[in-house]
Amino acid sequence: MSYRQEHIGWKYYDFREKHAKMIHMNRTSLPSVSPPKEWVDVPCMKLVLFLIATLSSQVPTQADDGVVFPKKVKAILETRCVDCHGRDTSEANVRLDNLEQLNTAAQLELLNRVQDQLFFGLMPPKEAEAPDEMERALLSNWLRNELRNRNASKLDEKLREPAFGNYVDHVKLFDGSTTEKPFTPARRWLVSPQIFHERVNAVFKLTGRSRQRSFYGVTNPIVLPEHSGVRYYDTTALDGGHLLIMLNNARWISQKQIFAATH
């Protein structure tokens, strides 16, 4: 072994000895820390846990927040609806005599169906004895408020769709009972490919044989299937592709109009 190797070896040994002594000093010099007495007192801890469990078991659990039916609403359902939608008949598999026995989800599902039938005038049928205006208004208002308060009205969602835009009860439209000024909620409408094409012809004021089936530079942004029964319906979504096509169409049409006006 060379002197250099031996010297390095002793240095390493000396370092290990000093390090071991430092560890021993730190261990012996630190004060011992005992756990708190209450941690060691196991019977006391068991007693605390027992009390917590006992008190927790006595806390009442939250009951199912079922629908509460006012007396007047129950009276209307019993006199106008239960004959056809009761235990013995249950037409269309709908029972309205046991609403209070159902869970909340089933109640809301059934109330949504009733609201739809009332709103669109599908129930009661013409041959049945219909509720008078006061009864219909009371039941309709209660259904609307109850479902909206629970954020569960499917009719509200349906009326936001373009297919139900500007829905009007034709009877009330012409019988003079509606005296309030009409209004239209803000909606975004898209047209069919055929209507868009006619609008482009109208922009250039083309009539007769001059009307064209297509225009160079103009792309129809409304693309619908061509088979029967699908061509004419509401397109419910706008996206970036529609916007880019419409901007390019507007640019081309404006350039065409400016050229025609200046030459």
The per-residue pLDDT for 30 is 47
Query: Are 155 and 210 contained in the same domain?
Result: no
Q: Is residue 22 part of a domain?
A: no
Query: Are 79 and 153 contained in the same domain?
Result: yes
Q: Is residue 249 part of a domain?
A: yes
Q: Shortest CA distance to 222 belongs to which of 212, 236, 211? A: 236
Query: Are 145 and 210 contained in the same domain?
Result: no
Query: Are 77 and 119 contained in the same domain?
Result: yes
The per-residue pLDDT for 212 is 74
pTM (2 d.p.): 0.47
Q: Is residue 28 part of a domain?
A: no
Query: Are 225 and 154 contained in the same domain?
Result: no
**Domain count of the chain?**
2
| H or E element in which residue 157 lies | helix 154-159
Query: Are 75 and 137 contained in the same domain?
Result: yes
Contact (CB, 8 A) for 64 and 101: no
Residue with structure tokens 């390095």?
8
Identity of the amino acid at 17? E
Query: Are 97 and 144 contained in the same domain?
Result: yes
Residue 250: domain span: 193-262
218 CB-near residues (< 8 Å, 6+ apart): 200, 249, 252, 253
Read off the pLDDT of residues 157-189 as tens digits, 9 standing for 90 and up: 888 776 776 677 777 778 888 787 766 554 445
Share of residues in the chain with pLDDT > 90 (%): 18
Q: Is residue 247 part of a domain?
A: yes
Read off the pLDDT of residues 35-78 as tens digits, 9 standing for 90 and up: 555 544 555 555 556 666 655 444 444 345 789 999 999 999 98
- Spatial distance between the Cα atoms of 113 and 92, rounded to a whole number of angstroms: 11
Q: Is residue 221 part of a domain?
A: yes
Q: Return the higher-pLDDT residue of 137 and 31.
A: 137
The per-residue pLDDT for 127 is 80
The per-residue pLDDT for 72 is 93
Query: Are 147 and 197 contained in the same domain?
Result: no
Q: Which two tokens stand for residue 125?
A: 């049928």
The DSSP letter of residue 127 is T
